């Protein structure tokens, strides 16, 4: 019930157990509507930066361009480029090690 208290109690644990708030929006039109709000734009921008760094968004040859735009003042340009890349707006589930799934992929 108190996510921050849980985090403080477990601050010495690995980052994989920490709580995080992520965007759960799969409509590009609704996301573009939110871009008029500076806080929403900043939130979406930093999540996209994190997803590129984790490899969830496959930047490939455009990684250099994204790194050049990786500034909060250029968030709109960064997001415009990121939206064109595979993996943007997708959810990545962790690998399932149980043997009831053939290859460990979430279905």
The residue ranking higher by pLDDT, 33 or 22, is: 33
Into how many domains does the chain fold? 1
Structure tokens at 20: 């995080």
Residue 97 lies in a domain: no
pTM: 0.70
CATH code, domain with 62: 1.20.80.60
Residues sharing a CB contact under 8 Å with residue 28, sequence separation 6 or more, in sequence order:
83, 89
Helices (H), the chain: 3-9, 28-34, 38-54, 63-68, 75-82
Looking up tokens 């595979």 gives: 86
- Tens-place pLDDT, residues 37-80: 999 999 999 999 999 998 999 999 999 999 999 998 999 999 99
Q: Which two tokens stand for residue 13?
A: 């644990």
Could you tell me if residue 1 is inside a domain? no
């Amino acid at each position: 019930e108190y996510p921050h208290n849980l985090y403080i109690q477990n601050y010495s644990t690995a980052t994989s157990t920490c709580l995080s708030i992520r965007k759960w929006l799969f409509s590009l039109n609704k996301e573009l509507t939110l871009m008029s709000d500076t806080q929403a734009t900043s939130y979406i921008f930093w999540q996209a930066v994190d997803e590129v760094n984790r490899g969830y968004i496959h930047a490939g040859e455009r990684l250099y361009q994204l790194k050049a735009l990786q500034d909060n003042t250029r968030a709109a340009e960064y997001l415009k480029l990121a939206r064109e890349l595979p993996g943007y707006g997708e959810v990545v589930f962790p690998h399932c090690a149980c043997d009831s799934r053939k290859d460990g992929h979430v279905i």
